[in-house]
Structure 1
Amino acid sequence: MALRHDVAHLGHVELLTPTFDRSLWFFTELMGLTEIDRRGDSAFLRTWDDYEQYSLVLTASNTSGIRRTALRTSSQEALDRLAARIPDGRWLPAGDGIGPSYLCTDPDGHLIQLYWETTWFEAPPELAPSLKNQPQAYPGRGVGVRRLDHVNFLAAEVAANGAFVTDSLGGSVTEQIVLDDDSVAAQWLHFGNKSYDLVYTTDWTGNRGRLHHIAFATDTREDILRGADIFLDNDVFIETGPHKHAIQQTFFLYVYEPGGNRIELCNPLTRLVLAPDWRPITWTQAERAKGQAWGLKTIESFHTHGTPPV
C-alpha cells in the first residue's frame, strides 16, 4: 500500500474548452488568475497564492472537460514508490515547469499525472508582492481567487475510484455518501490536512472519465458574494449558490465558464482534518436528500451536468 502523504497536494489541472478566448477572459478577468505563458493551444494560468509556476492549463479543444489532474508527491522516493504500485502507467520526460512525471489513470479513465520536481514561481517586478512569504501580489481584479482547491470527478463506480486513491496514492476518505443499497454515491478524499483534494460522485449517465467541477478557494465568503455580482454583470450563468454544503461545510457558488465546464468558488479555508486516525463521516441517503446545510434546494442540473457533454 502507498504510504500516507506520498502525495503532497493537488498541483494543477488541464481544462479543455471549445471557446478558448472567452474561457481565457473568464479565468483572467473575472476569476482573477494571471496568465504567465502561452504555448501552442494552451495558456498557463496561476492564482496569486499558489507557490508553483501555474495552477491551471487552459487548452483549446473541440469539446470541454478535464484532460489531466497533476498531483505533486512529497519526494522523489515517494514518486518512485507510487509508480511501482501503479504498473499500468508510463513515465513522461520533464516539461512545462515540472520534472519527469508518471502518467496513469484511475479506474474511471481520468488521467492522473504524478510529479516531484517543480518550478517555484518567481514574480517579475510588476507582480512582486510586498510580503516575501506571498508568491505574488494580489491581482486586484475580478474575484481574485487565492488557490486551486479541489477537483470533483464524475465516475461510473465511486467505490473503485476511491479505493484507487486510498490504496495506490495513499489518500484517505474524510466523508462519503452511502445509499440504502450500500452503494457508495460519493467520496471526499484528502492527502494532507485539507479536508478534501479529490471528490468522486456517481455519473448518472453511466459514462466514464467526465468532470463535475474544479474549485478555486477564496479568502472570504464575501469574495464569493462579490463574485456572484461580477458573474451577474458579465452574463456568466450562475447554476446554484451561494449556499453552504452540509458535507464538508463549504460555502460555495457554482457557475459555468464559457466553455461549459462547471467552476466552483469555495471557502473551506477554516476546516482542517488534523487527526491522523480520522474516522470517515458517512451520510445516509435520507440525510443527503435533505440537501444543503442552508440555502436553496439542490437543483437537478447539479446531478446531471458534466463535461464533456453526453
Structure 2
Amino acid sequence: MNSARGDIAHLGHVELLTPELDGTVWFCTEILGLTETRRVGDSVHLRAFDDYEQTSLVVTAHSTSGVRRTALRASSPEALERRAAACLEAGREGEWVDGEAGTGRTFRTSDPDGHVLDLYYETEWYQAPPELRPALKNQPQAKPNRGVGVRRLDHINFLGADVLANAEFTENVLGARPTEQIKLDSGRVAARWLTFNNKSYDVVYTEDWTGSEGRLHHIAFATDTREDILRAADLAIDNGVHIETGPHKHAIQQTFFLYLWEPGGNRIELCNPLTRLVLAPDWPLITWTEEERKRGQAWGLKTIETFHTHGTPPIA
C-alpha cells in the first residue's frame, strides 16, 4: 500500500475567480443555497450547510474566470509535514504561507499542470450564529430555506495537459487512490478519478483538448437527493441560468448530475453521489475504453460537445 495513503483527509475548499462577482455570489446564494459568511477585499466566503469548516468556497473578483487554488486538509500535523516534504522531494516548488479561509499554517505547492494546491491541517470549525443554529447538534448549520440547499463541496475536476502525470503526482505524492479512468485506443489516459477517503472521488483530471495547463473543468456540490437536482433545473430555467447538460446519470461513477454555467462562466455541477462509497481497501482501477465512452452516459444520452470544449479561463 502507498505509504502516503491517508495523509490527505479530504478536499477542503476552492477559490474560484470570476469577472462577474455580484452575479456569481447571487448564483451561489440564491441557486445553490450557500451561506455568505464574510467578505475580505475582493473575495466573498461562502459555505454549504453540512461542511464542518468555515468555508466551502471563496469567490474572488478577477479579470477572467477559473480556479486560483484548491485546499486539501491533511489528516494530522505530522501528515502535513510528510506531504510537504514529499512534494519537495518530487521536485515540486513549495512554500509555507499563512492559511486562508479559516485555516492555519499552509504548504502551498502545485501539481505538474500548475494548479495551485494548499495543504493544511489546522482549521476553524464553523459555529453557527443564533439565526442559523440547527436543531440537531451533529449538524453544523440549519438547512437553508432558499435555492437548492446543497449539502457539501464534493469534488473538483481539473483540466490537464498530461492527465497521467497529474494523476500519478496525486497518487504517489499526495496519497490518493485511483478509482476509475478513461483510456483511449492509443493507450493514452484521457481522464482519471481519485479519492483520498471512502468517497468514490475527490479530484478528477480530464484531458484539456487545447493542450493548455492549469485550467478548470468544474467544481461540484453534493445534494441530499436526486429531486434536489430536478429542483435546481427548475430554478435555473426560471432565473435564466444556462443549463449545459442534464439532469442525467453518468456511467462513470454513476453520479446523477446537472451542469450549470454560473454568471462568471465557470461550470458548476450539482451531483448526487451520496449512496456510492468505495469501501474495499483493494478496489481495482476501473478502466473505460474509447468505444465504451462513445455510447454516452448511463441511459444513452450523448455527451454534449461543450462538455469537452468549455473550460475556464476561456482560451481565445
Considering the TM-score relative to the shorter chain, is it more than 0.5? Answer: yes
Deviation of residue 296 (structure 1)? 2.7
Q: Distance in 1 between matches of 2:258 and 2:100?
A: 34
Contact 1:31–1:144 at 8 Å: present in 2 too? yes
2:307 to 297, 302, 308: 302
2:280 to 275, 278, 303: 275
Q: Distance in 2 between matches of 1:109 and 1:62?
A: 19
Deviation of residue 294 (structure 1)? 1.2
Counterpart of 1:35 in structure 2 is: 36
1:245 to 250, 253, 277: 250
Counterpart of 2:17 in structure 1 is: 16
Which SS does the other structure have where 1:309 is aligned? coil
1:115 corresponds to 2:117: no
1:250-270, Cα deviation, whole Å (9 max, x unpaired): 000001000000000000000
1:212 to 212, 217, 228: 217
Which SS does the other structure have where 1:247 is aligned? coil
Counterpart of 1:25 in structure 2 is: 26
* Residue correspondence of structure 1 range 174-185 to structure 2 within 5 A: 174-185=179-190
Deviation of residue 29 (structure 1)? 1.0
Deviation of residue 295 (structure 1)? 5.4
* CA separation of 1:41 and 1:2: change in aligned 2, threshold 3 A: farther
Aligned pair count?
A: 310
Contact 1:176–1:188 at 8 Å: present in 2 too? yes
Which SS does the other structure have where 1:206 is aligned? coil
Which SS does the other structure have where 2:253 is aligned? helix
1:167 corresponds to 2:172: yes
Counterpart of 2:235 in structure 1 is: 230
Q: Distance in 1 between matches of 2:122 and 2:106?
A: 9
Counterpart of 2:194 in structure 1 is: 189
* Residue correspondence of structure 1 range 152-163 to structure 2 within 5 A: 152-163=157-168
Q: Distance in 1 between matches of 2:11 and 2:239?
A: 30
Contact 1:52–1:119 at 8 Å: present in 2 too? yes
Deviation of residue 93 (structure 1)? 2.1
Deviation of residue 95 (structure 1)? 4.1
Q: CA RMSD in A?
A: 0.8
Q: Distance in 2 between matches of 1:259 and 1:3?
A: 37
* CA separation of 1:210 and 1:95: change in aligned 2, threshold 3 A: closer
Counterpart of 2:295 in structure 1 is: 290
* Residue correspondence of structure 1 range 25-174 to structure 2 within 5 A: 25-87=26-88, 88-174=93-179
TM-score (norm. length: structure 1): 0.99
* CA separation of 1:19 and 1:295: change in aligned 2, threshold 3 A: farther
Structure 1: which amino acid aligns with 2:27? F
Deviation of residue 3 (structure 1)? 1.8
TM-score (norm. length: structure 2): 0.97
Q: Distance in 1 between matches of 2:49 and 2:198?
A: 21
Q: Distance in 2 between matches of 1:180 and 1:55?
A: 38
Most deviating of 159-168 and 295-304: 295-304
Q: Unpaired segments of 5 or more residues in structure 2?
A: none
1:96-117, Cα deviation, whole Å (9 max, x unpaired): 3111000011000000100000
1:166-206, Cα deviation, whole Å (9 max, x unpaired): 01000010000011111000000000000000000000011
Q: Distance in 1 between matches of 2:46 and 2:245?
A: 25
Q: Unpaired segments of 5 or more residues in structure 1?
A: none
Contact 1:47–1:145 at 8 Å: present in 2 too? yes
